[in-house]
């Protein structure tokens, strides 16, 4: 009898928990779940505007998907996106790990930590679009970077950064790196500070070297945070849009090599093409899901060893 009563109390108590979750679920359903379902629904229709005239919606089955996946561009844009993400992510994670390690190592006694922690986060506070407009002006044919390089005699003619695939992609990678390494540093640092310092002390007593401590203690314990950083960055990277969009004025040139998948979505907007746009969004959703799963599996299977 008594046990039943306390059980009921727990249920009653739990009820408040559910009630306080309502705001999240209501906003989630309105702003995420319904749009998600309608995107999937719309992807099966021909539905766009020709000038001011509405065409459709006409049900066309999976034609949007066939056209999308059958065209070579989408794969090209996916590769573009991945190249620019990886190119920005590798330096980002290396520098962030190094900085986080330094910041969280008490034996280094770094001065002005707070100052540097603020400074490295700053590029992230600037809007991506403002940031890429700044870079566009800096690296223009007659911009300051070319002027400086010419004045110190490195080059004699202006180097046209935006006319070569490699240089313009490197600029995008560099911008993404600059914008996000501070954020990653702070996440990794939070993880490192959570590691019990007695582990380090024990290792030092045992005579472990600094690199042994890093690879045998810090990294394994940091893994959950590391996976989190990797997956969020992957999702963010696949949705890369604002930097290349503003840098190339939506054209993705040279030769469409800076066009990301979401930039293609933006191009469909000229004719308000909900059908093709929906199919593209669903495709990106699935790709993101698969890649995240692979990353997740890779890391958790090592755990079981």
Partner 1 sequence: MKKKVLGLLLSTTMVAGMLTACGSTASNAPASTETPAAETPAADTAAESPAADTAAEAPAADVSADEGKVLNISAWNEEFKSRLTDHYPGYEVVDGTTGKIGDVTVNWLITPNEENAYQNRLDELLLAQDGAAADDKVDLFLVEADYAVKYTDTDYTLSVTDLGLTANDMKDQYKYTQDVVTDSNGVIKGTSWQGCPGVMIYNRAIAEEVFGSQEPEDIQAHFSDWNKFVESAAELKKAGYNVISSTADTFRVYQNNAELPWVNGTQIQVDDNLKKWVEDSKALADAGYCGTHGQWTDDWTKGFYPEGKVFAYFGPAWLIDFSMAKDVEGSIAHDGGWAATEGPQGFYWGGTWICAAAGTDNAGLVADIMKKMTCDPEIMKDIVLKDNDFVNNRTVMEELANDPSYSNEVLGGQNPLKMFCAGADNIDMANLTAYDQGLLGDYQTAMGDYINGNYATYDEALEQFYTLALQRYPELTR
Interacting residue ranges for partner 1, rule: CB under 8 A: 16, 19-20, 22-23, 26-27, 48-53, 55, 71, 73, 137, 140-143, 160, 163-165, 249-251, 253-256, 264, 267-273, 276
Q: Which is nearer to partner 1, 122 or 134 (CB)?
A: 134
Q: Which is nearer to partner 1, 22 or 205 (CB)?
A: 22
Return the DSSP state at 2.
H
Residue with tokens 């040139």: 253
Q: Shortest distance, CB of residue 68 to partner 1, whole angstroms?
A: 11
Buried b (16+ CB within 10 A) or exposed e, 80-117: bbbebbebbbeebbebbbebbbebbbeeeeeeeeeebe
Are the beta carbons of 188 and 222 closer than 8 angstroms? yes
Contacting residues for 239 by C-beta, under 8 A, at least 6 apart: 261, 262, 284
Q: Shortest distance, CB of residue 39 to partner 1, whole angstroms?
A: 18
Q: Which is nearer to partner 1, 104 or 248 (CB)?
A: 248
Q: Which is nearer to partner 1, 239 or 271 (CB)?
A: 271
Q: Shortest distance, CB of residue 275 to partner 1, whole angstroms?
A: 8
Q: Which is nearer to partner 1, 209 or 270 (CB)?
A: 270
For 102, the token pair is 């330094």
> CA-CA distance, 91 to 38, in Å (whole number)?
38
Are the beta carbons of 82 and 88 closer than 8 angstroms? no
For 297, the token pair is 């599996």
Q: Shortest distance, CB of residue 152 to partner 1, whole angstroms?
A: 20
Q: Which is nearer to partner 1, 68 or 120 (CB)?
A: 68
Are the beta carbons of 157 and 147 closer than 8 angstroms? no
Q: Shortest distance, CB of residue 18 to partner 1, whole angstroms?
A: 10
Q: Shortest distance, CB of residue 276 to partner 1, whole angstroms?
A: 7
């Amino acid at each position: 009898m008594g046990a039943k009563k306390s059980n009921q109390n727990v249920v009653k108590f739990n009820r408040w928990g559910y009630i306080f979750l309502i705001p999240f679920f209501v906003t989630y359903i309105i702003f995420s779940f319904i749009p998600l379902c309608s995107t999937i629904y719309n992807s099966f229709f021909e539905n766009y505007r020709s000038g001011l005239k509405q065409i459709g919606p006409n049900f066309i089955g999976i034609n949007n998907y066939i056209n999308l996946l059958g065209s070579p561009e989408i794969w090209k844009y996916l590769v573009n996106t991945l190249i620019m993400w990886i190119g920005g992510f590798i330096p980002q994670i290396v520098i962030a790990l190094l900085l986080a390690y330094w910041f969280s190592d008490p034996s280094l006694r770094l001065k002005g930590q707070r100052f540097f922690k603020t400074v490295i986060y700053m590029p992230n506070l600037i809007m991506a679009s403002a940031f890429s407009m700044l870079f566009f002006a800096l690296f223009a044919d007659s911009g300051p970077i070319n002027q400086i390089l010419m004045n110190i005699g490195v080059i004699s003619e202006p180097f046209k950064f935006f006319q070569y695939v490699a240089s313009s992609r490197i600029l995008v990678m560099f911008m993404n790196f600059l914008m996000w390494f501070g954020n990653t540093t702070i996440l990794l640092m939070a993880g490192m500070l959570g590691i019990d310092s007695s582990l380090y002390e024990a290792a030092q007593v045992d005579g472990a070297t600094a690199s042994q401590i890093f690879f045998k203690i810090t990294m394994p314990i940091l893994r959950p945070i590391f996976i989190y950083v990797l997956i969020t960055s992957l999702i963010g990277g696949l949705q890369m849009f604002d930097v290349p969009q503003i840098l190339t004025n939506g054209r993705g040139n040279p030769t469409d090599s800076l066009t990301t998948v979401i930039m293609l979505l933006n191009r469909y907007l000229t004719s308000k093409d909900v059908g093709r746009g929906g199919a593209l969004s669903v495709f990106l959703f699935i790709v993101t899901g698969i890649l995240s799963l692979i990353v997740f599996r890779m890391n958790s299977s090592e755990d079981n060893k």
